[in-house]
Amino acid sequence: MAYDYEKSIRPGKLPHIWCPGCGHGIVMKGLIRAMDACGLEKKNTAIVSGIGCASRMPGYLDFNTLHTAHGRAAAFATGIKMAKPEMTVICCGGDGDGAAIGGNHFIHACRRNIDMTYVLMNNYIYGMTGGQFSSSTPTGHLASTTPYGNPDPCFDLAKLAIGAGATFVARTTAFHANQIDKLIAEGIKHKGMAIIEVLDDCPTTYGRRNKFRSVVDMMKRLKEIAVPVTAAAKMTPEQLEGKTLTGVLHKEDRPEYCESYAKIIARVQGA
């Protein structure tokens, strides 16, 4: 029997705003399956986003949802989680939103290791505003504000998250639909800050400027560049040139922020 997505979608809120061929819908389906697999209760779950195409996702989902300001999802979510640590808090959004204008909130949420799951859809571009380069647009690529090629080096978002202190960091792509839900579910179950980077495609504003003739071409590229971390261990640096590691890239146990604060409360009240 086909999986029932409808039970998690707000009645009357579809169709979504995403262009044909955009991977955000694949990610949303993965998120729905992941939340379901974790048995999350709607009333005890908050989904928080910033601004941009990917940040419209919470509006379609029948949970507590908060569509905040540009880049601020992690900071709003931190407030919710601190106020009600018993809630499951999930952030979702794009690369420009999360790592450029929201970069400071992002790295500090990682550093605190607050128990949240952040689904970061990296489509290499500011899509909603029409295709300006983001902090993850590859060097040399074309965007509406890099008509001669992007001079900026780009972030490796997963490395950024690991460096900042996130205790669960995973990466997959919109092509690997069956891996998205599993990684998000693992992130939700992980106690601490979980970052799931999903390499995504934006055919409308990124693909057409960068010689991807079709959505299929973009999806093929995502398939080709992805190398599971397990397979990468057996590959040479030459073989890994131009590839991106996928799967669980980092996992560690470290005290979770709200639990640490709860201990402070207990100590102060006991004294």
Partner 1 sequence: MAKKIALLQGNEACAQGALYAGCNFFGGYPITPSTEVAEVMAGELPKIGGKFIQMEDEIGAMASIIGASLAGSKTLTASSGPGISLKQELIGYACIAEVPCVIINVMRGGPSTGMPTGPGQSDVMQARWGTHGDHAAIALCPASCQEIFTETVRAFNLAEKYRMPVQVLYDEIVGHMRERIVFPEPGELEVIDRTAPSVPPEKYKPFDTSFGDVPPLAAYGSDYRFHVTGLNKAEDGFPTTKAELVDAEERRQIRKVECPEARADIESNEEYLIDDAEVVVLAYGSTSRSARYAVNELREQGIKAGMFRPITLWPFPEQRVAQIGEQVKAIVVPEMNLGQMIFEVERVVKNSCKLAGVHRVDGDPLTPSQIIDQVKEVL
Encoded amino acid at 41, one letter: E
Q: Is 44 in the site for partner 1 (CB under 8 A)?
A: yes
For partner 1, which residue of 32, 54, 66, 119 counts as binding (CB under 8 A)? 66
Ranges within 207-266 binding partner 1 (CB under 8 A): 261, 264-265
Q: Are 80 and 257 in contact (CB under 8 A)?
A: no
- Would residue 126 be called left, alpha or beta, if left means φ above 0 and alpha means ψ between -120 and 50 degrees? beta
Give the residue with the Cβ less far from partner 1, 17 or 216: 17
**Which residues make Cβ contacts (< 8 Å) with residue 235, sequence separation at least 6?**
227
**Which residues make Cβ contacts (< 8 Å) with residue 129, sequence separation at least 6?**
none
Q: Using CB under 8 A, which of the segments 44-52, 121-129, 148-156, 187-195 binds partner 1?
A: 44-52
Q: Is 64 in the site for partner 1 (CB under 8 A)?
A: yes
Encoded amino acid at 139, one letter: T
Shortest distance, position 132 Cβ to partner 1, whole Å: 20
Q: Are 29 and 60 in contact (CB under 8 A)?
A: no
How far apart are alpha carbons 16 and 20 in whole angstroms?
10
Shortest distance, position 44 Cβ to partner 1, whole Å: 6
Q: Is 37 in the site for partner 1 (CB under 8 A)?
A: no
Q: Is 2 in the site for partner 1 (CB under 8 A)?
A: no
Ranges within 97-126 binding partner 1 (CB under 8 A): 104-105, 107-108
How far apart are alpha carbons 264 and 258 in whole angstroms?
10
Residues in the chain: 271
Q: Is 67 in the site for partner 1 (CB under 8 A)?
A: yes
Q: Is 79 in the site for partner 1 (CB under 8 A)?
A: yes
Task: Look at residues 127, 181, 260 and name the one whose alpha carbon lies nearest to residue 8.
Answer: 181
Tokens matching residue 242: 């131009």
Q: Are 172 and 196 in contact (CB under 8 A)?
A: yes
Q: Is 69 in the site for partner 1 (CB under 8 A)?
A: yes
Count of residues in contact with partner 1, rule CB under 8 A: 38
Count of alpha carbons within 13 angstroms of residue 138, beta-carbon side? 10
Q: Is 42 in the site for partner 1 (CB under 8 A)?
A: yes
For partner 1, which residue of 18, 76, 155, 175 counts as binding (CB under 8 A)? 76
Q: Is 62 in the site for partner 1 (CB under 8 A)?
A: yes
How far apart are alpha carbons 52 and 57 in whole angstroms?
10
For partner 1, which residue of 4, 5, 13, 216 counts as binding (CB under 8 A)? 13
Q: Is 77 in the site for partner 1 (CB under 8 A)?
A: yes
How far apart are alpha carbons 240 and 233 in whole angstroms?
10
Q: Is 80 in the site for partner 1 (CB under 8 A)?
A: yes
- Contact positions toward partner 1, by CB under 8 A? 10, 13, 42-44, 46, 48, 58-59, 62-69, 72, 75-80, 82-84, 86-87, 104-105, 107-108, 261, 264-265, 268-269
